């Protein structure tokens, strides 16, 4: 399969049950739990889901993150909207370079 044809699509509401079932079956952490703002994405190649990913809003508090970013405590809340967390990443159809290509396209989609 030609990875230049790979596209990233948001998972439609009517497809969320399938997304969650695949995550539950194949991801070592199971399906993600929808808490707060979240987004599910599928990497699609020739009409077939080949990778899945879920993102969530940033946690309110993370001492390590805030130290690394150098945020003063008063700046944390107003800036949280600038951060997202990828909670799951699942390759359904392994092939060379699929993971890196998918992550590259996700970076552009989520940004």
pLDDT tens digits, one per residue of 58-96:
888 888 888 888 888 888 888 888 888 888 999 999 999
Provide the residue ranges of all domains of the chain, joining segments of one domain with +. Answer: 3-57+84-110
d(CA 35, CA 57): 9
CA distances from 77 to 55, 84, 100, 102 (A): 19, 14, 32, 30
> What token pair was written down for 92?
């359904």
CA distances from 68 to 32, 36, 65, 90, 94 (A): 26, 24, 5, 27, 33
CATH tag, 3-57+84-110: 3.40.630.30
What does the DSSP assignment read for 11-35?
A: PPGGGHHHHHHHHHHHSTT-SPP--
Quickly state the pLDDT bin for 52 (edges 50, 70, 90): very high
């Amino acid at each position: 399969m030609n990875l230049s044809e790979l596209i990233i699509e948001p998972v439609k509401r009517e497809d969320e049950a399938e997304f969650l079932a695949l995550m539950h079956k194949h991801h070592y952490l199971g399906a993600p739990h929808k808490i707060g703002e979240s987004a599910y994405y599928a990497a699609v190649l020739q009409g077939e889901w080949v990778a899945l990913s879920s993102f969530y809003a940033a946690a309110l508090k993370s001492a390590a993150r805030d130290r690394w970013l150098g945020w003063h405590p008063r700046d944390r809340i107003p800036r949280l909207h600038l951060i997202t967390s990828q909670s799951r990443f699942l390759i359904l159809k392994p092939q060379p370079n699929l993971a890196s290509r998918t992550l590259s396209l996700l970076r552009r989609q989520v940004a």
